[in-house]
Amino acid sequence: MIWYKSVARTLFGGNMAPLEKKRLEYRPKIPGVLHDLSRVRFVPAEKTAHVREEIAHDFPKTKDRSAHRLMSAIPVKINSLRIGVFFSGGPAAGGHNVIWGLFEALQQLGAGSCLIGFLSGALGLLENQFKNLSQKAIDPYRNQGGFDLIGTGRTKIETEAQMAAAMQSVQEHRLDGLVVIGGDDSNTNAAHLAEYFLRKGCKTAVIGVPKTIDGDLRSSEIEIAFGFDSACKTYAETIGNICRDAKSTQKYYHFIKLMGRSASHIALECAFATQPNLTLIGEEKKGLEQIVEEIVCLIEQRKQAGKEYGVILIPEGLIEFVPEMQGLIQEPRLLDLDPHGNVKVSQIETEKLLASLVKKKLPSLAAQEHFLGYEGRCCFPSNFDANYAYSLGLAATLAVRDGLTGAICSISHLHKSPEEWTVNASPIVSLMVMEKRRGKEIPVIQKAIVDIKGTLFVKFSSLRKDWEMEDRYLYPGPIQFFGDVQSEPPNTLKESV
């Protein structure tokens, strides 16, 4: 504890805000199974991972790999490892803790270990732009938000030339492992790299770490990716503040669009955290007219009850479930795709569109539109994400040590205390499906959308009528780093067990 303080003081002096410095002191809580890395090993799990036939065809070298679980056992003796890491896609709070975890696990292995970070995402790997991640480099980033230690990017690795460039970089650095910290598309990249390296006889293992604020990288093993909790808590603070403003001034309807790409997980999580009057969930697949009618009806009913204000949450991915909405928005930029073929939904002003359509029916409506997106990606990680991401970093080093490749690390039982968490690694190919991107069927990790038959959504449906008319707003305030609720997992995890 004392040395953290001295590091902060000597390295940064007055260049850190008080909370930045304070966060350097936090020691992440880890699963019991990670307390002594010299006494655990990834062993094949009882349940074999199922790989779809059409996917297996593209991944002959990695299709038959088993799922693994970290168990008490004496590992194969390895004194040092060389690992490379990069961030991929949008930032998510906790990323720096994954690097810290990787580093500390390597330190425990032995003196000859090294960690290098490729800069600006996969591009750094392709161009061999990197940085040595020493203790001195990592220290100021412990428990801090963002990905700025090494940067990130959305470069897709797809061509044979790109695969070869990636292999050249890992071989030049004699890497035992390459860790890809990313979402669904980035881990799809990782699966392709693992397959290619095996095919070419390259010994570098490729291990994925699940990151994304969107909450859509999930499977039976991956309960949530890191970053979701911190982003939702950040948005929930602002939504709560807006609810209170709405109730205080009683003159506006607030249309709040929330980031989260296709799936509405963030909107659903924030709905539980703040209980606004209406939360649209894309996965309900309502038509545009129905949605507008629903909002109009809400506003009219509330008016009759003397309430001419309210708060409405809109997931940014709504547009993907309401086909008429795409046609209504004329600007060509709105159909821009990212390098992975995803529609850039964060740039589509759905909140403004809906407010204007409602206004056509209710001209006296006083609306305020908001977009909560980028501000949730680089906040300080909540203690939950700080613990989770750090543990994933430790696990990823062990996955390399234990000879896994083409696997994504995950942690289960996240609704319990960290001590009780269990650590797994699943073959990435078992998460993949064929999907049409840019008009072509390609293998990708399936995005998990909100299950409208699932426990969480069913609970939401039973409560939402009450939230419409009664103001049941909750004001969660900023992320809590100290005190009773400092390590609360997201509602999504608590409610879905």
- What does DSSP assign to residue 367? E
DSSP secondary structure, 213-265, as one string: TTS----SS----BTHHHHHHHHHHHHHHHHHHHHHH---EEEEEE--SSS-H
Binding mask 362-401 vs ligand FBP (x if CB under 6 A, - otherwise)?
---------------x------------------------
Given 83, 259, 386, 456, the residue binding ligand FBP (CB under 6 A): 259
Catalytic residue among 176, 184, 185, 214: 214
Looking at residues 308 to 327 of the shown chain, list those that interact with ligand FBP (rule: CB under 6 A): 316
CA angle (381, 384, 385) in 5-degree steps: 45
314 close to 350: Cβ distance less than 8 angstroms = yes
Nearest to ligand FBP of 155, 277 (CB atom): 155
Residue with token string 């049409």: 436
Task: Please name which of 342, 213, 353, 351 lies closest in space to residue 270, comparing C-alpha atoms.
Answer: 213
Nearest to ligand FBP of 37, 270 (CB atom): 270
Taking phi over 0 as left and psi of -120 to 50 as alpha, with beta for the rest, 234 belongs to alpha
Residue 75 to residue 105: CA distance in whole angstroms: 14
Establish if 175 lies at the interface with ligand FBP (CB under 6 A). Answer: no
What tokens appear for 226 in the block? 């890191």
Distances (CA, A) of 316 to 128, 149, 256, 290, 332: 35, 28, 10, 18, 18
Please identify, among the stretches 17-25, 41-49, 257-265, 391-399, the one whose residues bind ligand FBP according to the rule CB under 6 A: 257-265
Contacts with 1 (C-beta within 8 Å, 6 or more apart), sequence order: 25, 27
3-state secondary structure of 378: coil
Given 212, 230, 264, 382, the residue binding ligand FBP (CB under 6 A): 212
What amino acid occupies position 48? T
What tokens appear for 331 in the block? 């600007």
Establish if 89 lies at the interface with ligand FBP (CB under 6 A). Answer: yes
Nearest to ligand FBP of 246, 266 (CB atom): 266
164 close to 131: Cβ distance less than 8 angstroms = no
Please identify, among the stretches 159-167, 209-217, 350-358, 487-495, the one whose residues bind ligand FBP according to the rule CB under 6 A: 209-217
CA angle (61, 155, 337) in 5-degree steps: 110
Residue 490 to residue 228: CA distance in whole angstroms: 8
Nearest to ligand FBP of 261, 302 (CB atom): 261
Given 95, 146, 183, 490, the residue binding ligand FBP (CB under 6 A): 183
> Which residues sit opposite 179 in a β-bridge?
85, 207
Residue 402 to residue 412: CA distance in whole angstroms: 20
Given 156, 254, 261, 401, the residue binding ligand FBP (CB under 6 A): 261
What tokens appear for 446 in the block? 């399936």
Closest approach, Cβ 183 to ligand FBP, in A, equals 4
Nearest to ligand FBP of 388, 467 (CB atom): 388
299 close to 311: Cβ distance less than 8 angstroms = no
Please identify, among the stretches 103-111, 254-262, 396-404, 448-456, the one whose residues bind ligand FBP according to the rule CB under 6 A: 254-262
Closest approach, Cβ 271 to ligand FBP, in A, equals 17
Given 129, 168, 171, 346, the residue binding ligand FBP (CB under 6 A): 346
Closest approach, Cβ 351 to ligand FBP, in A, equals 14
> Does 184 qualify as catalytic in the annotation?
no
Closest approach, Cβ 474 to ligand FBP, in A, equals 23
Nearest to ligand FBP of 167, 266 (CB atom): 266
Establish if 353 lies at the interface with ligand FBP (CB under 6 A). Answer: no
Establish if 101 lies at the interface with ligand FBP (CB under 6 A). Answer: no
Distances (CA, A) of 376 to 161, 289, 493: 36, 31, 19
Burial group, residue 437, by CB count within 10 angstroms (0-12, 13-18, 19+)? middle
Closest approach, Cβ 336 to ligand FBP, in A, equals 10
Closest approach, Cβ 123 to ligand FBP, in A, equals 14
205 close to 194: Cβ distance less than 8 angstroms = yes
Nearest to ligand FBP of 269, 316 (CB atom): 316
Closest approach, Cβ 125 to ligand FBP, in A, equals 16
Closest approach, Cβ 477 to ligand FBP, in A, equals 23
Establish if 213 lies at the interface with ligand FBP (CB under 6 A). Answer: yes
Closest approach, Cβ 247 to ligand FBP, in A, equals 29
Nearest to ligand FBP of 220, 346 (CB atom): 346
169 close to 128: Cβ distance less than 8 angstroms = yes
Please identify, among the stretches 132-140, 259-267, 306-314, 467-475, the one whose residues bind ligand FBP according to the rule CB under 6 A: 259-267
Establish if 446 lies at the interface with ligand FBP (CB under 6 A). Answer: no
Nearest to ligand FBP of 154, 401 (CB atom): 154
Establish if 214 lies at the interface with ligand FBP (CB under 6 A). Answer: yes
Residue 401 to residue 399: CA distance in whole angstroms: 5
Establish if 145 lies at the interface with ligand FBP (CB under 6 A). Answer: no
Catalytic residues: 214
Which residues of the shown chain bind ligand FBP in the complex (CB under 6 A)?
89-90, 92, 183, 212-214, 259-261, 316, 338, 345-346, 377
